[in-house]
């Protein structure tokens, strides 16, 4: 089998790039319809936003509160979608992106699930066309009409499939791959018909990991890559058959960070002291090119930008650092100690990084060093959720569910 991975969403990049080239002074604003963005790589195509701020920080567009959890944001058609937990219920929220005003919400009973952390929701809603999909830690799957929150279909996929609930619940967000809805439920995923919620195939055995299914094209085959309990596994979304598997043992089965695929290579990194490795695909088995303890991403996956990885090294329980390492070799380029277990997004060649304690920093994505151009303390509490930059606004949250939306539009 020849493996020539091509990013499925790559064609969508071209118009954005073209517009940027033709009108270099005009800001390009884009949606962020799902976890890790339009291309599922943590990179926003947004340009022309304010990367220097006054001493008191950027303008706050609005604030909100959605309840406990670590869910990130999907932004589409002027709306923000996220989740939170309060009083034995999870709630899926649809907010107006410019004002924060609540457009609709849907609550359903759910456990807090606070074993060894604050608990609450951990997945992020996914927008596809006029639909929004969400998955709870306990397997409650929903398809909403984006416009008004009307439920198109819903059901608990855990009880339907008998899949084991991982120790911290299902952590991956829903992923639309071709004409299928793919969930990280079961050892190597679950496929549903997004129109009806019918289950097309399922997997059993060990627990799921906590990553979001990552679409990947291999020749003509459409694959999805899953963090599973003891491996990262690529399966064919048509029938759930395995294409390749990399055995990857992380304490408590927390294969949570999203894998990164580029060319014919796969990068994996997890926390609890595990570390990172780069593999080459294409042969009978994936071949390890290097491995290192320099980058141990426990929650948020690193971001690959121009041959370098930017990510958080270390666990929530210790003083994690922000790091830059070289993709090809694993060589550490710089370390920003004291960053904590935060997250980041890259936009227009800049890191937009939210520290574990709520300091937001902008700095060029430069392997030569970390040199911030803007800083502001935007939140308190525990900030383990990566910020999102979409439509000229930066969205940040903490575990309590306090949201701040910052206006970084130039006009």
Partner 1 sequence: MKDLSLLDRRRFLRNATLAAGAFSAAPFIRAADPARKFRTALIGCGWWGKNILREAIASGRVKVVGLCDVDSGVREVAAEQVTDLNGDHPKTYNDFRELLDREKPEIVVIATPDHWHALQTIAAVGAGAHVFVEKPTGHTVNESRAMLHAARASGRVVQAGLHRRIGPHHVSGMAFLQSGAVGEVGMVRIFAHGGGGKERPSANSAPPAGMDWDLWCGPAPLRPFNQKLHPGGWRHFLDYGNGQLGDWGVHWLDQVLWWSGEQYPKRVFSSAGRPIAGPAILNEKEQTSDTPDHQVAVYDFERFTCVWEHRRFGENRAEKHAIGAYYYGTKGTLHIGWRDGWTFYPADSNAPTRHEDSQLQEPDGHNLRLLWADFIESIETGKKGVANIEIAHRSSVLPLLGMISWKTGRSIAWDGDKEQIIGDAEASKLLSRPYRGPWVYPGV
What residues make contact with partner 1 under the rule CB under 8 A?
A: 88, 111-112, 115-116, 164-165, 167, 205-207, 229-230, 249-253, 273, 275, 293, 315, 317-319
CA pair distance 133, 123, nearest whole angstrom: 11
Nearer to partner 1, 94 or 231 (CB): 231
What is the arrangement of strands in the sheet containing 287-292, beginning at the earlier edge strand? 260-262, 265-270, 275-280, 287-292
In DSSP terms, 216 is beta-bridged to 223
Nearer to partner 1, 162 or 263 (CB): 162
CA pair distance 362, 370, nearest whole angstrom: 9
Nearer to partner 1, 196 or 317 (CB): 317
Closest CA to 312 of 378, 389, 246, 383: 383
Nearer to partner 1, 250 or 385 (CB): 250
CB of 153 to partner 1, least distance (A): 23
Pseudo-torsion of CA 230, 231, 234, 237, nearest 10°? 10
CB of 109 to partner 1, least distance (A): 10
Q: Do residues 329 and 367 touch, judged by C-beta distance below 8 A?
A: no
CB of 318 to partner 1, least distance (A): 4
CB of 213 to partner 1, least distance (A): 21
Nearer to partner 1, 95 or 112 (CB): 112
CA pair distance 28, 223, nearest whole angstrom: 31
Within its chain, how far is the Cα of 18 from the centroid? 26
Nearer to partner 1, 5 or 172 (CB): 172
CB of 158 to partner 1, least distance (A): 9
CB of 183 to partner 1, least distance (A): 18
């Amino acid at each position: 089998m020849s493996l020539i991975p091509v990013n499925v969403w790559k064609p969508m990049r071209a118009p954005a790039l073209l517009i940027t080239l033709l009108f270099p002074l005009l800001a390009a604003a884009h949606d962020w319809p799902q976890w890790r963005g339009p291309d599922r790589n943590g990179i926003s195509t947004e340009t022309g936003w304010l990367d220097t701020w006054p001493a008191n920080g950027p303008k706050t567009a609005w604030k909100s509160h959605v309840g406990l959890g670590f869910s990130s944001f999907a932004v589409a058609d002027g709306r923000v979608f996220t989740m939170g937990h309060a009083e034995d219920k999870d709630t899926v929220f649809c907010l107006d992106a410019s004002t924060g005003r609540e457009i609709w919400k849907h609550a359903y009973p759910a456990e807090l699930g606070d074993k060894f952390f604050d608990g609450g929701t951990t997945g992020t809603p996914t927008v596809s066309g006029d639909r929004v999909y969400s998955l709870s830690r306990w397997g409650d799957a929903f398809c909403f009409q984006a416009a008004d929150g009307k439920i198109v279909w819903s059901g608990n996929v855990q009880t339907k499939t008998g899949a084991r609930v991982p120790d911290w619940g299902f952590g991956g967000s829903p992923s639309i791959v071709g004409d299928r809805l793919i969930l990280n439920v079961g050892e190597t995923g679950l496929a549903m018909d997004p129109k009806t919620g019918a289950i097309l195939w399922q997997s059993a055995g060990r627990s799921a990991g906590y990553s979001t299914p990552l679409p990947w094209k291999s020749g003509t085959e459409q694959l999805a890559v899953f963090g599973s309990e003891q491996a990262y596994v690529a399966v064919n979304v048509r029938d759930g058959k395995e294409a390749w598997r990399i055995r990857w043992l992380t304490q408590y089965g927390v294969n949570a960070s999203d894998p990164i695929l580029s060319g014919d290579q796969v990068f994996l990194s997890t926390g609890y002291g595990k570390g990172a490795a780069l593999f080459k695909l294409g042969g009978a088995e994936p071949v390890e090119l290097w491995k290192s303890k320099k980058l141990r991403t426990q929650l948020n996956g690193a971001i690959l930008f121009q041959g370098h990885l930017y990510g958080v090294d270390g666990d929530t329980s210790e003083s994690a650092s922000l790091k830059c390492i070289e993709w090809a070799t694993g060589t550490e380029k710089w370390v920003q100690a004291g960053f904590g277990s935060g997250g980041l997004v890259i936009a227009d060649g800049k890191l937009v990084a939210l520290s574990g304690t709520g300091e937001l920093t902008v700095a060029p994505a430069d392997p030569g060093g970390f040199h911030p151009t803007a800083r502001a303390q935007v939140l308190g509490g525990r900030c383990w959720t990566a910020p999102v930059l979409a439509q000229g606004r930066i969205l940040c949250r903490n575990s309590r569910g306090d949201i701040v939306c910052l206006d970084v539009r130039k006009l």
